[in-house]
Homo-oligomer: A and B are copies of this chain.
Amino acid sequence: MDTSSVLDLNQLRRSCASCALHELCLPAGIDGEDLKRLDATIRDKRTLDRGEALFRQGGQFHALYVVRSGSLRTFVEDASGNAQVLGFHLPGELVGVDALANDHHASQAEALERSSICELPYEHLNHLLAQMPSLQRQLMRVVSREVAAEHQHMVVMGRQPAQERMAIFLRSLSDRFARLHRDGSTLNLSMSRYDIASYLGLAVETVSRLFTRMEEAGILEVSRKAVTILRPDLLEAMCSSPRTGSKKGDAL
């Protein structure tokens, strides 16, 4: 059954025009002849199995990528092999931007589940950008969105205690699922606890404990990789530490 659904996906991927992500992705705001040309430069040969690498740290840069289905994690490994997860990437999201600066990848990207990827060879893309101001604009907008998201994550890493980090992480995932017209309250965490811990700058044990605590509090239902948000209101409240914020009326 898996094979057939994958085949379907590949067949669906014929044009950006017919893609469900159209409005969230690079083609947003582009149509007609221009869209056809963008379409023509996209190579969709990439399908990745769980754990397979899209590109490796230090590897030669030659394309940008957009997740079409599934999910990726990007991370860097330092000299001694410790990994730091930089982000998780859902359909419609762009990866590989950090490689343009000096023509080789500063990070690596791996599939968290069977995923399909749109590949945008950079030389082709450049020609297109020269001819399509609207695409140029949209590309900058997408990159800017990425930068803004990373800024948000720095706030999390800089100031927030563990519990707030988890809450913000889950809320962000939920929001992104919703944007994809999926159910924002039943999350399928394709990444491991280790990945989450690394991404949030915490120990795996802490992540695990927080899941349990939030389940006990009736906010989540956690079963392995399947997480259901039962009380979005409480989750939201948990995103900002009670310490900062309100001046009076702190329950505690």
Contact = CB atoms under 8 A, between A and B. Distances in A.
Contacts of A240: 78-80
A80 B159 CA distance: 13
Interface residues of A, number: 47
Interface string A132-174: 0100110111111111101101110111000000000000000
Interface of A: 76, 78-80, 82, 84-86, 97-102, 106-107, 126, 129-130, 133, 136-137, 139-148, 150-151, 153-155, 157-159, 198-199, 201, 240, 244-246
Contacts of A198: 158-159
Nearest to A143: B143
A154 B142 CA distance: 20
Contacts of A133: 126, 129-130
A148 B245 contact: no
Interface centre among A82, A142, A146, A147 (most CB of B within 10 A): A147
